[in-house]
Amino acid sequence: MKPAAIHCFILALILVSLFSCKKEYSYEGGPPSSGYLIKDAANNCSLITVTGSYVVGKKLNDSNFLQVQVNITRPGSYTITTDNINGYSFASSGNFKDTGLQFLNLSANGMPLAIGTDLFTLRYDSSICQVQVDIQDTFVNVVQTSNPDYFPLAQDNRWVYDDLSYPGDSVIRTINGDTTINGVPYYVMNEYISFYPVTNKIDYRKAGSVYLEYAPVSIYTDALDYAPTIYNDLPFLKEDCHTGDTWYSNTFSGRVSLGIDVMLLRYLFHCTDADATVVINGKTFLHVIKMDMIPQVANPGENLVATGEIRTSYYAKGVGLIYKELFNGIRTHPELQIRSWLVN
């Protein structure tokens, strides 16, 4: 072989070797992120939250997930999965754009096949955590009701809730009388919050299959506060909705309290599950409607965009509101869960 040819051959081998040693990524999104799963002060994985009910033979849905906290030291793509145990597993993937503390929901997939306690292992980067998920044998303490309404409105109806924002306190809601607003009749609900204490008045009505609350429209978002206050109906629930159905409130326009700027506000209502099974305080509620309330804001002439807040409420047939939580754009905060009720 000629010297020039030998040199070319050696150079080719070197190039092949270099490129063959280059690290390849078998995922989308570019280089992987780095970081670790957050543990408590005792180095335990107690900060992982198991959400939803897990019952033998019931397919898991978007109400079933693990919420984990991770500290990101280098942005990039990630995939966090668990092993598949007893017919189901958890997973989440995406991209971290920033460093620091992040909250993730690992969605559940599958269906529990047997009762017991399942121990799942999570791995992110070089950190490992384990979490237990309890599987119920069958539906226990199933709530039986004859009232077909998902938000029963009648005189003297009463609901008592655990105040999850201030554990140990309670919220008591009672329908006491009625009123007329703009020629339309409403039921008056008094809401007593023991933490402050304070009693709020809330006006509700039902039109066909739609439940409406007459309220200061900016009360359900931190993005703006109208001044003067704007009142209107908010159609927060349709008892004949189907999973995936969406609808909107009216679009409101007014001056905000921090200046003379005018801003628009609208709420998107999303029925994320029209037939959920939810266990609250040891009681099983069947045929529950899960609703998301998503505020959207904009300057006049611009497209409305979501603020990042999501208020999720669960309504049980014959009972009404049984659970409520708020996602503030960073993490989910439980707010209320049903303790007892008296419905006429």
* pTM > 0.75: no
pLDDT tens, residue by residue, 234-282: 999 999 999 999 999 999 999 997 667 899 999 999 999 998 888 888 8
Q: Which residue has the tokens 């609350």?
A: 213
What are the b/e assignments for 18-28, b being 16+ CB within 10 Å?
A: eeeeeeeeeee
Q: Tell me the average pLDDT across 49-76.
A: 90
One-character DSSP codes across 39-95: --TTS--TT-EEES--BTT----TT-EEEEEEEEEE-EEEEEEB--BTTEEEEEEEE
| Position 318 pLDDT exceeds 90 | yes
Q: Is 48 exposed, middle or buried (0-12, 13-18, 19+ CB in 10 A)?
A: buried
Nearest to 207 by CA among 243, 239, 182, 229: 239
Q: Which CATH number fits domain 158-342: 2.120.10, 2.40.50, 3.30.70, 2.40.360?
A: 2.40.360
Nearest to 233 by CA among 305, 184, 283: 184
Give me the pLDDT at residue 229, please. 95
Cis amide bond preceding 197, omega within 30: yes
- Measured between alpha carbons, how far is 192 from 202 in angstroms, rounded to an integer? 11
Residues 239/289, Cβ–Cβ less than 8 Å: yes
Domain boundaries, the chain: 34-135, 158-342
Q: Tell me the average pLDDT across 205-226.
A: 97
Q: Tell me the average pLDDT across 201-205.
A: 98
- 3-state DSSP call for residue 140? coil
Q: Residue 343, Cβ neighbours under 10 Å: how many?
A: 18
Q: Is 146 exposed, middle or buried (0-12, 13-18, 19+ CB in 10 A)?
A: exposed
| Position 26 pLDDT exceeds 50 | no
Domains 34-135 and 158-342 share a fold: no
Which homologous superfamily is 34-135 in?
A: Immunoglobulins (2.60.40.10)
CA 267 to mean position of chain CA atoms: 16
Whole-number percent of the chain with pLDDT over 90: 70
- 91 Cβ contact partners less than 8 Å away, ≥ 6 residues apart: 79, 80, 81, 82, 106, 107, 109
Give me the pLDDT at residue 257, please. 75
Give me the pLDDT at residue 239, please. 95
- Measured between alpha carbons, how far is 316 from 279 in angstroms, rounded to an integer? 11
- 267 Cβ contact partners less than 8 Å away, ≥ 6 residues apart: 220, 234, 248, 249, 293, 294, 295, 296
Q: Which of 10-14, 225-229, 309-313 has the lowest mean pLDDT?
A: 10-14
